[in-house]
Amino acid sequence: MKLYLSDWTTPITIASLRQKGVEADRIIKVYAAHEETVRRIAGRKVQLLEANEGDFSHRDCFVYKDRGTYDGRDLQHFLSKHTSLDYRGRATARALLRFGYQDRLKISQFAMGVRNGDEWQFPHPFSFIHFASHQTSDANARLHLDIFSPGSIKKLAAVVDIDNPSKIATERDVRQIIQAESGNGFGKERI
Protein backbone atom coordinates (compact mmCIF):
# COMPACT_ATOMS: atom_id res chain seq x y z
CA MET A 1 0.00 0.00 0.00
CA LYS A 2 1.23 3.52 -0.75
CA LEU A 3 1.21 6.15 1.98
CA TYR A 4 1.77 9.85 1.50
CA LEU A 5 2.29 12.72 3.93
CA SER A 6 0.76 16.16 4.20
CA ASP A 7 1.78 19.13 6.36
CA TRP A 8 -1.27 20.63 8.09
CA THR A 9 0.69 23.06 10.23
CA THR A 10 -1.29 26.27 10.49
CA PRO A 11 -1.89 28.68 13.37
CA ILE A 12 -5.44 27.26 13.64
CA THR A 13 -4.36 23.59 13.88
CA ILE A 14 -1.60 24.39 16.37
CA ALA A 15 -4.00 26.48 18.49
CA SER A 16 -6.53 23.63 18.38
CA LEU A 17 -3.94 21.17 19.69
CA ARG A 18 -2.83 23.57 22.42
CA GLN A 19 -6.44 24.02 23.56
CA LYS A 20 -6.45 20.25 24.14
CA GLY A 21 -3.27 20.54 26.22
CA VAL A 22 -0.96 19.25 23.48
CA GLU A 23 2.27 21.16 22.89
CA ALA A 24 3.16 20.94 19.22
CA ASP A 25 4.82 23.11 16.61
CA ARG A 26 3.90 21.01 13.61
CA ILE A 27 1.30 18.50 12.45
CA ILE A 28 1.91 15.98 9.69
CA LYS A 29 -0.84 13.62 8.51
CA VAL A 30 -0.26 10.25 6.84
CA TYR A 31 -2.82 9.00 4.29
CA ALA A 32 -3.12 6.10 1.82
CA ALA A 33 -4.03 6.44 -1.86
CA HIS A 34 -3.32 5.10 -5.33
CA GLU A 35 0.04 6.30 -6.60
CA GLU A 36 -1.46 7.54 -9.89
CA THR A 37 -4.05 9.67 -8.06
CA VAL A 38 -1.45 11.32 -5.82
CA ARG A 39 0.90 12.09 -8.72
CA ARG A 40 -1.88 13.39 -11.00
CA ILE A 41 -3.43 15.70 -8.41
CA ALA A 42 -0.22 16.91 -6.76
CA GLY A 43 1.44 17.40 -10.17
CA ARG A 44 4.81 16.41 -8.74
CA LYS A 45 6.64 13.41 -7.33
CA VAL A 46 5.28 13.41 -3.80
CA GLN A 47 7.27 10.87 -1.81
CA LEU A 48 5.30 7.66 -1.36
CA LEU A 49 6.06 5.12 1.33
CA GLU A 50 5.34 1.42 1.13
CA ALA A 51 3.38 -0.11 4.02
CA ASN A 52 2.19 -3.65 4.69
CA GLU A 53 -1.60 -3.82 4.46
CA GLY A 54 -1.93 -7.58 4.92
CA ASP A 55 -4.06 -9.29 7.53
CA PHE A 56 -2.63 -9.54 11.02
CA SER A 57 -1.67 -13.00 12.23
CA HIS A 58 -0.45 -14.65 15.43
CA ARG A 59 3.09 -13.61 14.42
CA ASP A 60 2.18 -9.92 14.71
CA CYS A 61 2.77 -8.58 18.21
CA PHE A 62 2.49 -4.93 19.16
CA VAL A 63 4.04 -4.21 22.55
CA TYR A 64 3.08 -1.00 24.32
CA LYS A 65 4.93 -0.15 27.53
CA ASP A 66 2.54 -0.05 30.49
CA ARG A 67 -0.31 -1.21 28.22
CA GLY A 68 0.67 -4.76 27.40
CA THR A 69 0.91 -6.66 24.15
CA TYR A 70 -1.69 -6.73 21.40
CA ASP A 71 -1.72 -9.96 19.39
CA GLY A 72 -2.32 -9.67 15.66
CA ARG A 73 -5.33 -11.99 15.80
CA ASP A 74 -6.96 -9.80 18.47
CA LEU A 75 -6.36 -6.69 16.38
CA GLN A 76 -7.75 -8.40 13.28
CA HIS A 77 -10.86 -9.40 15.25
CA PHE A 78 -11.25 -5.87 16.62
CA LEU A 79 -11.17 -4.38 13.10
CA SER A 80 -13.78 -6.82 11.87
CA LYS A 81 -16.17 -6.59 14.80
CA HIS A 82 -15.76 -3.07 16.20
CA THR A 83 -15.37 -0.82 13.16
CA SER A 84 -17.61 -0.20 10.19
CA LEU A 85 -14.66 -0.21 7.79
CA ASP A 86 -14.88 -2.36 4.69
CA TYR A 87 -12.02 -4.52 3.39
CA ARG A 88 -10.08 -1.57 1.95
CA GLY A 89 -10.56 0.51 5.08
CA ARG A 90 -9.34 -2.35 7.28
CA ALA A 91 -6.29 -2.76 5.00
CA THR A 92 -5.55 0.97 5.30
CA ALA A 93 -5.91 0.87 9.10
CA ARG A 94 -3.47 -2.08 9.28
CA ALA A 95 -0.96 -0.25 7.04
CA LEU A 96 -1.18 2.94 9.13
CA LEU A 97 -0.77 1.04 12.40
CA ARG A 98 2.27 -0.83 11.08
CA PHE A 99 3.75 2.38 9.67
CA GLY A 100 3.47 4.17 13.00
CA TYR A 101 4.72 1.17 14.99
CA GLN A 102 7.98 0.56 13.12
CA ASP A 103 11.16 0.77 15.21
CA ARG A 104 12.56 3.80 13.43
CA LEU A 105 9.42 5.86 14.23
CA LYS A 106 7.62 4.42 17.30
CA ILE A 107 4.74 6.87 16.79
CA SER A 108 2.13 4.32 17.85
CA GLN A 109 4.05 3.42 21.00
CA PHE A 110 4.24 7.09 21.97
CA ALA A 111 0.53 7.65 21.34
CA MET A 112 -0.48 4.62 23.40
CA GLY A 113 1.52 6.02 26.34
CA VAL A 114 -0.25 9.40 26.45
CA ARG A 115 -2.50 9.99 29.43
CA ASN A 116 -5.35 12.44 29.91
CA GLY A 117 -5.42 12.74 33.68
CA ASP A 118 -5.85 9.23 35.04
CA GLU A 119 -7.16 7.84 31.74
CA TRP A 120 -5.34 6.71 28.64
CA GLN A 121 -5.79 9.21 25.81
CA PHE A 122 -6.17 6.35 23.33
CA PRO A 123 -7.99 3.26 24.62
CA HIS A 124 -6.95 1.02 21.71
CA PRO A 125 -4.20 0.96 19.03
CA PHE A 126 -6.74 1.88 16.33
CA SER A 127 -8.23 4.79 18.30
CA PHE A 128 -5.52 7.23 17.15
CA ILE A 129 -6.18 6.47 13.47
CA HIS A 130 -8.70 9.13 12.53
CA PHE A 131 -11.95 8.05 10.84
CA ALA A 132 -11.53 4.38 11.83
CA SER A 133 -14.88 4.56 13.63
CA HIS A 134 -16.74 6.62 11.00
CA GLN A 135 -19.49 5.26 8.80
CA THR A 136 -19.12 7.61 5.85
CA SER A 137 -18.76 6.73 2.19
CA ASP A 138 -15.35 8.41 2.05
CA ALA A 139 -14.00 6.95 5.32
CA ASN A 140 -11.46 4.73 3.50
CA ALA A 141 -9.82 7.70 1.78
CA ARG A 142 -10.03 9.90 4.90
CA LEU A 143 -8.34 7.46 7.28
CA HIS A 144 -5.13 9.03 8.52
CA LEU A 145 -2.56 9.13 11.26
CA ASP A 146 -1.67 12.48 12.89
CA ILE A 147 1.93 13.04 13.90
CA PHE A 148 2.62 16.07 16.05
CA SER A 149 4.85 15.25 19.01
CA PRO A 150 8.23 16.94 18.53
CA GLY A 151 10.09 13.63 19.00
CA SER A 152 7.91 11.85 16.44
CA ILE A 153 8.27 14.72 13.95
CA LYS A 154 12.05 14.50 14.30
CA LYS A 155 12.01 10.74 13.66
CA LEU A 156 9.68 11.21 10.68
CA ALA A 157 12.03 13.83 9.22
CA ALA A 158 14.75 11.17 9.13
CA VAL A 159 12.50 9.04 6.87
CA VAL A 160 10.89 11.71 4.65
CA ASP A 161 12.16 15.19 3.76
CA ILE A 162 9.15 16.90 5.36
CA ASP A 163 10.79 20.32 4.95
CA ASN A 164 10.78 19.95 1.15
CA PRO A 165 7.32 21.03 -0.05
CA SER A 166 7.70 19.05 -3.28
CA LYS A 167 7.88 15.78 -1.30
CA ILE A 168 4.61 16.13 0.60
CA ALA A 169 1.01 16.88 -0.35
CA THR A 170 -0.69 20.16 0.48
CA GLU A 171 -4.01 20.37 2.33
CA ARG A 172 -5.67 21.18 -0.98
CA ASP A 173 -4.02 18.15 -2.62
CA VAL A 174 -5.36 15.93 0.18
CA ARG A 175 -8.93 17.17 -0.23
CA GLN A 176 -8.78 16.53 -3.99
CA ILE A 177 -7.14 13.11 -3.52
CA ILE A 178 -9.86 12.11 -1.03
CA GLN A 179 -12.55 13.22 -3.46
CA ALA A 180 -10.94 11.33 -6.35
CA GLU A 181 -10.30 8.19 -4.30
CA SER A 182 -13.84 8.21 -2.91
CA GLY A 183 -15.27 8.46 -6.41
CA ASN A 184 -13.15 5.78 -8.05
CA GLY A 185 -14.03 2.83 -5.86
CA PHE A 186 -11.13 3.21 -3.43
CA GLY A 187 -12.75 0.62 -1.21
CA LYS A 188 -12.90 -1.95 -4.01
CA GLU A 189 -9.56 -1.65 -5.81
CA ARG A 190 -6.22 -2.96 -4.74
CA ILE A 191 -3.73 -0.22 -4.08
By residue range, what is the domain housing residue 136?
Answer: 2-183
160 in a structural domain: yes
Q: What are the phi and psi torsion angles at 91 (to 5°)? A: -65, -40
Concatenating the DSSP letter of every residue in 35-59 gives HHHHHHHH-S---EEE---SPP-TT
Mean pLDDT by 10 residues, the chain (191 residues): 94 89 90 91 92 93 93 92 85 94 92 88 88 72 90 92 93 92 57 39
Number of domains into which the chain is organized: 1
190 in a structural domain: no
189 in a structural domain: no
Tell me what pLDDT residue 135 has: 67
Closest CA to 81 of 90, 94, 70: 90
Tell me what pLDDT residue 8 has: 93
Tell me what pLDDT residue 184 has: 59
The pTM is what? Answer: 0.88
